[in-house]
Structure 1
């Protein structure tokens, strides 16, 4: 009986073939071809793996980059890279589990960023050794722009600072790169909320850029960028002083912001700066100075065709006039606020103007006029759909109508007699919008859907 031939089974390897794995990663290197006269020519195609190939295969990218930097003599680049990685790790631990930083992918696990750091740090170090400070500056600037995402803000700030240090060593550009670097560093500090540090760098930027024709990629001169940055920084610094009720210091800082805006030549920025100075003087109680700056803001807004800015100016001037007891001029400027808001189809400002006019008429005892403006403000609040404004306008309309009815109702009570009693009973039964006293005079009251412009004040 013929014996049964069993098929041979291929043995399963316990460990993967290292040569196959290395071949897939491109680590195998062919040996040099042997001389044809050599009897072992058949073995000329044999491959081998070096220790470096194995390290590339087994170690992490961070470790391989660090080893390569040390081997090639880039000790400064190695120190900088290690410092950045340790700083990120410390910040992550300080933030704690569950924080946004904790959930971010570690820097050392992002090959693209590690390769960029390796490339530009070593280039910068090589250029530093050769005394090529412009190239050093360009490499640090490239790294700062590479980390443009919000989570890379701290890296961007670090490389802008390094670019500033290298820019100070460049002597052939009249300080242009140093000015640009100061602007970049100032902007990063501004984003971080360190306004004092931002002020220092923006002032250095401005000092270097004054009178120069240098321009950025957007076509703006460096002097304009410096003045715009200083205007913003001064404004933010002044806001802190205003919160502390230190109006004198706040006005000094805001005046600097206004001067920077004028120097920059941006009329809109100049108008907004004048408006802020005017409000600061208004808070301090100096209404004369406040009106000067607010009038400047109104003039600039009128020239720019800015209806919103012009309305803000009229309202602020009216508040100063009211503080001085000039009621007639106050109403005049509020009417201007009303008109410019109506012409510009700005329902929000128009509603605010109606509320202001209703308030001042009611405070003067002209309840019917106040009721008209409050009624219009209520209608505009309904169209805007803003509940807080709607509730406030509704309450003001109710109060104004009640005050409108108060005089004839009180007169009927004081007069007495059968006619007055019948009038009171009839009104309580009907509860009409108007109330007729015994003499036949009626106190008018508006309706909720009345949206036409109230009559002008004579």
Structure 2
């Protein structure tokens, strides 16, 4: 093969044009792509400014812009007010505030959308004068915010719901009564008893003698009375802690009258219990026993074991304060029987403990130690450290008090008789009560010694 023929097979490096084969080898490979949609003009559509804003702007800005574009200016102002107050509350509390560890409200999309939905619906209904719908939307928001440290948001919308309910004139005031009840319950949960009392009274006056029923089948009138009694009892409990017994009695008498209005035996029994405690603190033991006995009878008839147990304890304590220890023990024995039957170990332990203390007061140390030992065994079984330590101390004191007379007799008689010293030494080593046996033996021997001289004289 000649050299000229070999060179002819190679491309001409001096040529200006590139062959088609070289062009095809340099061109990139075509990839398979999904065809883009085109509009009627044949061009690919571009996203609108609104679509771009949904991705670029924050959720808060998007919600606010949507409200303003749709003309919901009142909803926009309400939303900004809630967001601002939420952030102020969150920052003011610092690390000690539960809100500090939660994301800001504006960074919680679901809550923002919920606010937007209900606020705009409420504003739409407000424009048409449909205050029932306004009330329902505001109530929905009040019931939605139940998280930690969100009580003020719930209170805010409950107050707005009450204002809207007062404008409803077609239901005889039922929506207003329900709004007052919701506010009263919320204030009661927050410990604002004065405001709770105010709204419960408004609820009671609106629901009085009305044929209105709740979902549980109770009349709203009864719910109002129960709420009023609950507030009165809590107010009285605070006054009892401060030993303001006369003020507590005044509040509880008001609650008792409310319970009697509805002929509610359960409420009467509950209020009577606290009235008995108030009169006991005042020193009126006879009146205290009357109210406590009423509470005991009501709880027994209704079969409320917890109320029955606390009534037994309160009556026994009143009888003990009046010096009637035998009657007090009888009530404690009944409490022990009821507690044992219904397996209420705490009440059973307390009944045995109180009986043991009363027995020791009466000088019946053996029975006292027996009852206190039962209380100790129950406390050990239940694992109650405080009750166990108390029972240990009481058992030790009762045992020591019961042993004290015999111990003193041996100690005082030790100089005249050597047999009296040995039981004391034995007791210090073992701490077991052997004084009664040794004391009986020493007394028998002493009696025989006193008889011997008489027989000698007779002989």
Q: Deviations over 1:382-439 (max 9, x none)?
A: 2222222222222222222222222233334445677x43144146336543322454
Aligned residues of 2:166 and 2:173 also touching (Cα < 8 A): yes
Specify the structure having the higher radius of gyration (Cα).
Answer: 2
Aligned equivalent of 2:457: none
Does residue 411 (structure 1) correspond to residue 409 (structure 2)? The answer is yes
Aligned equivalent of 1:159: 157
In 1: Cα distance, 2:54 partner to 2:374 partner: 77
In 2: Cα distance, 1:160 partner to 1:409 partner: 72
How much has 1:334 moved relative to structure 2?
2.6
Aligned equivalent of 1:429: 426
Structure 1 regions of 5+ residues with no counterpart?
A: 11-19, 34-42, 443-458
Aligned equivalent of 1:253: 251
Q: Describe the shift of the 1:402–1:78 C-alpha distance in structure 2 as closer, same or farther (beyond 3 A).
A: same
How much has 1:100 moved relative to structure 2?
1.8
Q: 323-332 vs 126-135, which deviates more?
A: 323-332
Indicate the SS of the match to 1:96. helix
Q: Which has the higher contact order (CA 8 A, sep 6+)?
A: 1
How much has 1:8 moved relative to structure 2?
4.3
For residues 16-415 of structure 1, the aligned pairs below 5 Å read 33=40, 43=41, 46-97=44-95, 99-263=97-261, 267-415=265-413
In 2: Cα distance, 1:354 partner to 1:139 partner: 57
Aligned equivalent of 1:440: 441
Q: Describe the shift of the 1:242–1:403 C-alpha distance in structure 2 as closer, same or farther (beyond 3 A).
A: closer
In 1: Cα distance, 2:370 partner to 2:95 partner: 59
In 2: Cα distance, 1:229 partner to 1:246 partner: 23
Aligned residues of 2:423 and 2:434 also touching (Cα < 8 A): no
Q: Structure 1-normalised TM-score?
A: 0.82
Q: 224-233 vs 258-267, which deviates more?
A: 258-267
In 2: Cα distance, 1:50 partner to 1:387 partner: 71
Q: Describe the shift of the 1:410–1:225 C-alpha distance in structure 2 as closer, same or farther (beyond 3 A).
A: same
Structure 2 regions of 5+ residues with no counterpart?
A: 1-9, 12-17, 444-459
How much has 1:236 moved relative to structure 2?
2.0
In 2: Cα distance, 1:391 partner to 1:98 partner: 36
In 2: Cα distance, 1:122 partner to 1:352 partner: 59
Q: Describe the shift of the 1:44–1:256 C-alpha distance in structure 2 as closer, same or farther (beyond 3 A).
A: farther
Indicate the SS of the match to 2:441. coil
Q: Structure 2-normalised TM-score?
A: 0.82
In 2: Cα distance, 1:439 partner to 1:123 partner: 93
Aligned equivalent of 1:452: none
Aligned residues of 1:183 and 1:202 also touching (Cα < 8 A): yes
In 1: Cα distance, 2:334 partner to 2:442 partner: 33
Aligned residues of 2:352 and 2:371 also touching (Cα < 8 A): yes
Aligned residues of 1:239 and 1:250 also touching (Cα < 8 A): yes
Q: Describe the shift of the 1:45–1:327 C-alpha distance in structure 2 as closer, same or farther (beyond 3 A).
A: same
How much has 1:265 moved relative to structure 2?
5.6
How much has 1:173 moved relative to structure 2?
0.3
More helix by share: 2
In 2: Cα distance, 1:401 partner to 1:46 partner: 99
CA RMSD of aligned residues (A): 2.8
Indicate the SS of the match to 1:337. helix
Q: Describe the shift of the 1:98–1:343 C-alpha distance in structure 2 as closer, same or farther (beyond 3 A).
A: closer
Q: 308-317 vs 134-143, which deviates more?
A: 308-317
Q: 215-224 vs 134-143, which deviates more?
A: 215-224
In 2: Cα distance, 1:438 partner to 1:93 partner: 77
Aligned residues of 1:409 and 1:437 also touching (Cα < 8 A): no
How much has 1:172 moved relative to structure 2?
0.8
In 2: Cα distance, 1:168 partner to 1:328 partner: 60
Q: Deviations over 1:99-134 (max 9, x none)?
A: 320111221122222222112211211211211111
